[in-house]
Structure 1
Amino acid sequence: MIEAWAVRIPKRQGEERRRELIQDGVIAGHLRPEADGDDLLIPVTESPPGTERALFREMQTAPPLPRHEQVGGIAIIQENDPRGAERILAARPSTHTVLHAEGAVEGEFRTKTFSVLAGIPTTRTTYPEYGHRFTIDLSSAYFSSRLATERQRIRSMMNDGEAVCDMFCGVGPFPIILADRAGWILACDKNPGAIHLLIENLTRNRTRNVLPMLGDAARLGDIFGERFDRVLMNLPLIAHQFLQTATVLTRPGGTIHLYALQEREGEYRDLIQSIIPESTINERFLRSYSAGKWHAVYDIRKKKD
């Protein structure tokens, strides 16, 4: 117990008077108000007229939760911390599983290896975003919830009826979010697990104008040519290697969105200008990725004929 100054008031006035003390900036927020018969003793930091000394218990504050990314009912932490995982599970009733990411994205299909630290042993969950619901399996296909705002930005830029190509669609967050503005969308990925989940998500969200395609994005230009008003390149580590294909796919006056991890501002600007001359380029910072590296997007408008 801690001795401190107190304001004594009738219990029936307790909440109103407590708010006044908070507004005045004199309430001792680290101490818990105490009942004394029909009165309430509220701890304060000053000793105005009418105060008295009283004993109070300290407020118990929970320790901060380990840093984690929330994807639907799954929390992903970078440290192998079983106790921290249990605290996340206890603090978040909607969380059913806590995973530890054992390494970075790797392999041809951009997946991670996870171990289950707490909860249900699964890597599968449902993720809600702006009125849509996505089935995610983190062991089968890469997914990050951190581009939800970016997907809305792209949607706001679109004209109704656009033809869109997502060269690296994953489980379908961009195509499904953009579908109500598009005429049609080609959604391509070379990962069979991603395409299976994409088809499931198209059905779940009743999306009928997206064409799923299992294939190598590098071959898309040979198949489709200049057909799309907008091309998405969300493969930040190597998307720039596919710029030549992207420009073949994009109509004159169309837009390419190149997502990249970079260490300096404008890192890919010269490359873009060399492949897509006379284009208009707008570079945007999205989020920090690691020390000295951040996630950026280049909005590239091709010159009209």
Structure 2
Amino acid sequence: MCGSKTTLGVKAPRSMGERIRRILAERGALDRKKRIRSDDYHIYIPVLESINPDALKGIAGAEIVQMEFEEDRRKVTVEEILGRKPSFETIGDIAVVEDEEPEVVADAIMAVHRGIRAVLAPVSDVEGEFRLRRYRYVAGEMRTLTVHREHGIRYMVDLERAYFSPRLGTERLRVAEQVRPGDTVVDMFAGVGPFSLLMAKRGARVIAIDKNPYAVKLLVENARMNRLDVEVREGDAAALTEDLADQADHVVMNLPHSASIFLPEAIRTAKSGGVVHYYTFAPEDDLYRDVRIIEEKARELGCEASLLYRGIVRSYAPRIYNVVIDFMVKKDVRQCTQITEPGSR
């Protein structure tokens, strides 16, 4: 094996690998410069050459071996430590773990990812008017505030006080790449600004709206921190778009639980030829059912909705998906119905 030699190690069943790795680390015996190996049944953990093999004999489930361990090839992964693939995501320097054994997963994450400073586990689904989740502390620092970096922009995020999902990063870039310098963008449910700031970076005039006061506070700070110009409005999206009729080249509707309620305002806000980026949740057997709702609402307003794109953004729940529908608004501004009674969020 290139770049390696036979050295001391410990062999253990995969189910016991993380426990034994922690014991070796606590005893100062783990060789972190070498790569942990594994096969279908066992994990092989490298031990420092300075360690006396007799010091390892009292570890239950561990078998002392001599074998080759690769050096400086890559970092050991969380999956290799645990012997399985856990469910977690990172937001800034916080890891959010959705697993039956969050403490075990947290230990593995913090051993592998040196930049992680806190590990949390959700104790609720996304809920309430502001789409928030509640968390419990698992490991590291006790906080929910972090700075997340995405596509060259920094975002201050507080996981318990303002909604943010890193899983939408690719989708945000897809939409932003359609924006041209000088375009007007209305982000109806902006949160801390991940759509808004990325579009502002591309030279668009961005009007960012959100009803959550704390999200708005972070949005303002994020715009300042990244030196980007965004017009921020706090309050109900229906009311705060009343003065924007026929102005937007792009309207972003990232409120998948209830975006359909705001379709009249979005259609009114888009100029003729403007594009609405509409997000919703839908069952596997009828993913794009909201196309019918969009077309019907446009007809009611004397306009036309022309489908441009539809796609799955991510899996949300068993057989339920977060989907996007992009449509172009075509209208005669003299005929298209004006909205006089805003909905409520």
Normalising by structure 2, what TM-score? 0.70
Structure 1 consecutive aligned stretches of length 4 or more whose deviation exceeds 4 Å: 28-32, 55-61
Note if 1:68 corresponds to 2:71: no
Change in Cα spacing, 1:101 to 1:16, as seen in structure 2 (3 Å) is closer
User: Is residue 290 of structure 2 the alignment partner of residue 268 of structure 1?
Assistant: yes
Residues 173-200 of structure 1, C-alpha deviation per residue, up to 9 Å, x if partnerless?
1111111334411100000010000011
SS in 2 for 1:262: strand
Match of 2:59 in 1: none
Q: Which residue matches 2:176? A: 155
Alignment map for 1:6-85 (pairs within 5 Å): 15=2, 57=67, 61-63=80-82, 64=84, 66-79=86-99, 81-85=102-106
Aligned to 1:190: 211
2:305 is equivalent to residue 279 of structure 1: yes
Return the offset for 1:153: 0.9
Q: Give 1:192's aligned amino acid.
A: P
**CA deviation profile, 1:126-156 (whole Å, cap 9, x unmatched):** 1011111111101110100111111111121
Q: Partners in 1 of 2:99 and 2:281 — Cα distance?
A: 23
Count matched residues. 261
For 2:72, the equivalent position in structure 1 comes to none
- The CA distance in 2 between the partners of 1:166 and 1:241, in whole Å, is 15
Aligned partner letter, 2:306: T
More strand by share: 1
User: 1:112-191 counterparts in 2 under 5 A?
Assistant: 112-191=133-212
> Which of 260, 264, 270 is the equivalent residue of 1:240?
260
SS in 2 for 1:266: coil
1:265-305 CA deviation, whole Å, 9 max, x = no partner? 22101100001243211211111111010011000101154
Q: Which runs of 5+ in 2 are unaligned?
A: 6-36, 45-64, 70-75, 333-345
CA distance in 1, matches of 2:321, 2:131: 18
| CA distance in 2: counterparts of 1:83 and 1:288, whole angstroms | 25
Give structure 1 stretches of 5+ with no counterpart.
1-13, 19-27, 33-54
Alignment RMSD: 2.5
Distance 1:102 1:180 in 2: 35
Shift in Å, 1:160: 2.0
**Using the alignment, how far apart are the partners of 1:154 and 1:174 within structure 2?**
8
Letter in 2 for 1:285: I
In the alignment, is residue 95 of structure 1 matched against residue 95 of structure 2? no
Which of 1 and 2 has greater Rg? 1
SS of equivalent to 2:295: helix
Distance 1:82 1:181, change over 3 A: same
Contact in 2 for aligned 1:65/1:87 (Cα 8 Å)? no
Residue 58 (structure 1) shift: 8.6
SS of match in other structure, 2:222? helix
Instruction: Write out per-residue CA displacement over residues 221-244 of structure 1, whole angstroms, 9 at most, x where no aligned residue.
Output: 423222111100001111111101
Residues 180-219 of structure 1: pairs in structure 2 closer than 5 A:
180-208=201-229, 210-219=230-239
Counterpart in the other structure of 1:231: 251
Per the TM alignment, residue 56 of structure 1 is displaced from its structure 2 partner at its CA by: 5.3
Q: Distance in 2 between matches of 1:155 and 1:292?
A: 28
8 Å contact kept, 2:287–2:321: no
